[in-house]
């Protein structure tokens, strides 16, 4: 373990516990929202959710304590603070699960563009599920989104920026979730387009690379020419 | 026929039979869905559909049997398996017809960007038709999409991500078709943008290429300089 | 006038007459549609429209007659044929007016990216107006689009792919116009994004260009080195 | 202060007054629109708005007077004239506040792509707020947008081109605001995509840069070779 700071060691140590907490949160939250729990079962689900929350709070506090440049770290992790503190943003903790994709990739390898596509697709699907849950939770009692199926349908229609308008959130919480999904949709269009653009630019620039290879060939011819000259001068003198 | 594997020979052999099966499927399925068949005619259409299905199943099984790295081939062709096995995804078999575009292109030639545009346009139009059929099939009895015209209109409104919301699917099957069309829409925006970006980047980079040509000219001046030097040294010594 | 084919001379000759015909068509068609003409005034407007149509037909026939590779020209101008022959596509003749932008640009100069942006903006605005007119013409009696204002609003909502769904076409002609506007919207997003991408890529690549300049500087140092060597050899020998 | 024109000195002098006027306008306009003011308080708010307007008018007139090429400046600043003259466009004066972002950036530094993203995000958020206010102002009495929350929700749904259609403007002023937001949405998609494309193209081109480094290494080897040759020739002769 080469010269890691204490904070880096902590982050490495917390990698799996945080992912596990996010997964447990995902299951407990899904159970609570889809099952529309009531009474003792709701207490169990809420307890599990609070327990996973404790893991995230602990991680945030320890990170802040270990950071060598505390204020710098704080200003760069406002988003983490909001996710930990605001109950409304708690579904975003599940996005931690995107790190599982990193592990899957590590074992299979893969080029940069391929990895970007896998991350974008994985994060989009996870976000669609998380947003469907969060919207269902917020909107159920207002008649707009009443089943998980409706939530998923709404999330897909929103993230692709189609927006039929047959289903849409009416509560402030639901609308905040929607804004997040819309922004993610813009980013998704961006990632898809950018990856395709990079690929097409590369294919088209093969001709350009051929010309650069010619330049390199010229330089090598030149080097060869000089080597011969040197041998000539050495032998004649 | 230089060193092809048995699987490659099989794929070459099945190229046209599969395309023909997709075409026959397209016609039979169109007839069944648009005509809203009933009684003996529905039996005929369904029989033809099952016969074309047999061709796809056969192709999948033989491919799996001939693959040198069977597990590798299997994991890369999960989508093919789903298309063959799930009745809900069967309209996707018609996408096989995109390969006809490859033949049209082969005879006319055409640069890389041109080919990407032709494929994207062809695949989009085919997908709009296929999605219109599939949505009509799924939605007809639910009042949302009742004619092929409505289906085509809905598919165009969806693939361009406009989404007026005058027509939208209400059944799970129709909504699954819609998600596919939306994702294709994102990809279509991506392809159009990326192709244009590649073209503009190329036009703008002419100046840059001119500068690279200057570098090459410098190297050539240099080579000439050394050649003269060599002659000088040779003659004087 | 260096070696122009007779067809090129014809096209140069018809440049302004066609633009004038498109402009007159624009005015007559606007008058007819916005004024919802009836009786003798409708006859006047229609007569003017038919007269401008004659100009386009004449141009198409003469072009076909003068083309050296007639079949080749025919297959590349199917779209022109459709615009001339199909009454439904006649509003597209006004797109000829985009050529006025070329004249405006010729007098002001301007770089490639700037010209792309001006063309895209000009063509989009013209298309919005043309589509609003065509949709108003087709939809007026069906209650969906009843004023030019509604038509323009609908065209803007459609070309930006927003698609609120408060106004949408219900007739086949109107829906065909809508499909054209949607496709133009996808192209518009593409042009805007591609132009921005080209600009950002260029700005970011300044660093790269600096490195290429360093390479050039190296080559020049090298040339200087050799020149000194040559002088040395010349003087000593 | 090196050789600035009198106009540049004026612009530097007015930098903060204009930003302050925009900020005061933002507050007064927000107060008037959100509070739906009536009676003496409306008079106060309107007076403040007219006072800030005077600052903008003064700046426009002085700029026009000081411009060395007056007509050239006038044609390039038609938009500024419209914003000053048309009451309908007055909310756009608040966009002046985007210049505050420039100050924030100046103190933190940051690369080109990062600055583009910060500007795009800042301008989008400001535009969403400004559009929400303007739409609320125009639409309140027509039943479509009645609270700031509804206005913000509508602006987000529009700038991301989702367009559910649950809220949409019905007055000409509101629809003009909407067209502005839609066009900004297209630009936003463009900026996000272009920035991502530039980033991916750069990451992918590392391989290419490595090859260029090899070329540079070749040239350096060559220079070294010649230096040795020169020493050899010098010592032996």
ipTM: 0.78
Q: How far is B210 from chain D (nearest CA, A)?
A: 17
- Contact residues for D61 (Cβ-Cβ < 8 A; gap 6+): none
CB C230 within 8 A of CB B230: no
Cβ contacts of D214 on chain A, cutoff 8 Å: 216
D102: number of CA atoms within 13 Å, CB side? 8
Winning range, highest mean pLDDT, from A160-169, D105-114, D226-235: A160-169
Return the pLDDT at A198: 82
Using the CB atoms, write b or e for D182-197: b if 16+ within 10 Å: bbbbbbbbbbbbbbbb
CATH topology classification for D112-203: Helix Hairpins (1.10.287)
CA D81 centroid distance within chain = 17
State residue C160 phi and psi, 5-degree precision: -90, 5
For chain C, say whether A205 makes contact (Cβ under 8 Å). Answer: no
**A-chain residue closest to B154, CA distance:** A164
In 3D space, the residue among D124, D224, D115 whose CA is nearest the CA of residue D180 turns out to be D124
Q: Do B156 and C227 touch (CB under 8 A)?
A: no
Q: What angle do CA A137, A141, A142 make, to 5 degrees?
A: 105
Please report the beta strands in A132-172, taking only residues with DSSP state E, as ranges in sequence order. none
Burial of D214 (0-12, 13-18, 19+ CB in 10 A): exposed
Cβ contacts of D162 on chain C, cutoff 8 Å: 162
Cβ contacts of D233 on chain C, cutoff 8 Å: 229, 232-233
Return the pLDDT at C157: 95
C-alpha torsion angle, residues A118, A124, A128, A131 (rounded to 10):
130
Neighbours of chain C (3+ CB pairs under 8 A): A, B, D
Cα separation of the two ends of chain C? 60
Distance CA A97, CA C184 (A): 39
pLDDT, tens digit, for every residue of D11-65?
888 888 888 999 999 999 999 999 888 889 999 999 999 999 999 999 999 999 9
* DSSP for residue B87: G
pLDDT, tens digit, for every residue of C8-66?
888 888 888 888 999 999 999 999 999 888 889 999 999 999 999 999 999 999 999 99
Specify the DSSP element, H or E, that contains C65: helix C40-66
Q: Give CATH for domain C110-191.
A: 1.10.287.70
Distance CA C151, CA C174 (A): 11
Distance CA D164, CA D154 (A): 9
A43: number of CA atoms within 13 Å, CB side? 2
CB B219 within 8 A of CB A219: yes
Residue D221 pLDDT exceeds 50: yes
Q: How far is B182 from chain C (nearest CA, A)?
A: 13
In 3D space, the residue among A217, A202, D211, B219 whose CA is nearest the CA of residue C211 turns out to be D211
**B-chain residue closest to A185, CA distance:** B186
Question: Is residue D155 very low, low, confident or very high in pLDDT (cuts 50, 70, 90)?
Answer: very high
**Closest partner CB to B189 (pick from A153, A164, A189):** A189
Cβ contacts of A225 on chain B, cutoff 8 Å: 223, 226-227, 230
* DSSP for residue C144: S
For chain B, say whether C163 makes contact (Cβ under 8 Å). Answer: yes
Top pLDDT among D107 and D79 is at D79
**Closest partner CB to A222 (pick from B165, B198, B222):** B222
In 3D space, the residue among B179, B128, B172 whose CA is nearest the CA of residue B150 turns out to be B128
Q: Do D164 and C164 touch (CB under 8 A)?
A: yes
For chain A, say whether D225 makes contact (Cβ under 8 Å). Answer: yes
Q: Do B165 and A165 touch (CB under 8 A)?
A: yes
Length of chain C: 237
**Closest partner CB to A237 (pick from D192, D218, D236):** D236
For chain B, say whether D217 makes contact (Cβ under 8 Å). Answer: no
Tell me the mean pLDDT in the region B57-64.
92
Return the pLDDT at C30: 92
For chain A, say whether D189 makes contact (Cβ under 8 Å). Answer: yes
Residue C136 pLDDT exceeds 80: yes
Cα dist from C12 to C61, C66, C74, C84, C235, whole Å = 16, 13, 19, 20, 65
Top pLDDT among D170 and D95 is at D170
Q: Give CATH for domain B110-202.
A: 1.10.287.70
Tell me the mean pLDDT in the region B176-197.
90
Distance CA D173, CA D184 (A): 17
In 3D space, the residue among B94, B86, B128 whose CA is nearest the CA of residue B19 turns out to be B94
Per-residue 3-state assignment (H helix, E strand, C coil) for chain D? CCCCCHHHHHHHHHHHHHHHHHHHHHHHHHHHHHHCCCCHHHHHHHHHHHHHHHHHHHHHHHHHHHCCCHHHHHHHCHHHHHHHHCHHHHHHHHHHHHHHHHHHHHHHCCCHHHHHHHHHHHHHHHHHHHHHHHHHHHHHHHCCCCCHHHHHHHHHHHHCCCCCCCCCCCCHHHHHHHHHHHHHHHHHHHHHHHHHHHHHHHHHCHHHHHHHHHHHHHHHHHHHHHHHHHHHHHHHC
Q: Do A158 and D153 touch (CB under 8 A)?
A: no
Top pLDDT among B46 and C237 is at B46
Tokens for A93?
């903790």
Mean pLDDT, chain B, integer: 84
CATH classification number, A110-204, choose in 3.40.50.300, 1.10.287.70, 1.10.3720.10, 1.20.210.10: 1.10.287.70
Tokens for A147?
């089943």
Q: What angle do CA D228, D234, D237 make, to 5 degrees?
A: 130
Q: Mark the ranges of chain A whose per-residue pLDDT is less than 70.
A: 1-3, 102-111, 205-216, 218, 236-237
Q: How far is D146 from chain B (nearest CA, A)?
A: 23
A-C Cβ pairs (cutoff 8 Å, strict):
11
Return the pLDDT at C120: 86
Cβ contacts of A158 on chain D, cutoff 8 Å: 162
- Contact residues for C14 (Cβ-Cβ < 8 A; gap 6+): C59, C62
Return the pLDDT at A61: 92
Distance CA B126, CA B134 (A): 12
Cβ contacts of D191 on chain C, cutoff 8 Å: 196
* Sign of the CA dihedral running D214, D218, D224, D227: negative
Question: Is residue B163 very low, low, confident or very high in pLDDT (cuts 50, 70, 90)?
Answer: very high
Q: Do B223 and A226 touch (CB under 8 A)?
A: no
CA D167 centroid distance within chain = 26
Return the pLDDT at D1: 46
For chain C, say whether D208 makes contact (Cβ under 8 Å). Answer: no
CB A130 within 8 A of CB A95: yes
**C-chain residue closest to A166, CA distance:** C165
pLDDT, tens digit, for every residue of C186-220?
988 888 888 888 888 777 766 556 656 666 676 77
A190, A193, A204, A212: which to substitute to probe chain C, counting the most C Cβ within 10 Å? A193
CB C167 within 8 A of CB C154: yes
Q: How far is C198 from chain B (nearest CA, A)?
A: 5
Winning range, highest mean pLDDT, from A55-64, B77-86, C226-235: A55-64
Return the pLDDT at B1: 46
Question: Is residue D215 very low, low, confident or very high in pLDDT (cuts 50, 70, 90)?
Answer: low
Neighbours of chain A (3+ CB pairs under 8 A): B, C, D
CB atoms within 10 A of CB D145: 26
Q: Do A112 and D192 touch (CB under 8 A)?
A: no
**Closest partner CB to C163 (pick from D163, D197, D212):** D163
Distance CA C191, CA C180 (A): 16
Return the pLDDT at C1: 46
Q: Do A209 and D212 touch (CB under 8 A)?
A: no
pLDDT, tens digit, for every residue of A74-107?
888 888 888 888 887 888 888 888 777 766 665 5
């Amino acid at each position: 373990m080469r010269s890691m700071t204490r904070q880096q060691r902590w982050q490495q140590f917390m990698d799996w516990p945080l992912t596990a907490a996010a997964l447990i949160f995902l299951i407990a939250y899904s159970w609570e929202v889809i099952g529309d729990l009531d009474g003792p079962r709701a207490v169990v689900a809420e307890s599990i959710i609070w327990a996973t929350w404790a893991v995230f709070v602990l991680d945030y506090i320890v990170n802040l304590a270990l950071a060598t440049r505390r204020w710098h770290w704080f200003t760069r992790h406002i988003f983490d603070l909001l996710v930990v503190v605001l109950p409304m943003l708690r579904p975003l903790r599940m996005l931690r699960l995107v790190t599982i994709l990193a592990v899957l990739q590590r074992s299979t390898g893969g080029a940069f563009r391929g990895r970007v596509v896998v991350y974008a697709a994985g994060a989009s699907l996870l976000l669609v599920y998380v947003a469907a849950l969060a919207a269902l939770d917020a909107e159920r009692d207002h008649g707009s989104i009443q089943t998980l199926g409706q939530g998923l349908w709404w999330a897909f229609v929103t993230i692709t920026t189609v927006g039929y308008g047959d289903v849409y959130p009416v509560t402030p919480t639901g609308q905040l979730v929607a804004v997040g999904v819309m922004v993610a949709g813009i980013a998704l269009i961006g990632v898809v387009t950018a990856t395709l653009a990079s690929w097409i630019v590369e294919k088209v620039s093969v001709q350009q690379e051929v010309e650069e290879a010619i330049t390199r060939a010229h330089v090598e011819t030149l080097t060869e020419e000089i080597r011969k000259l040197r041998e000539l001068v050495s032998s004649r003198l």
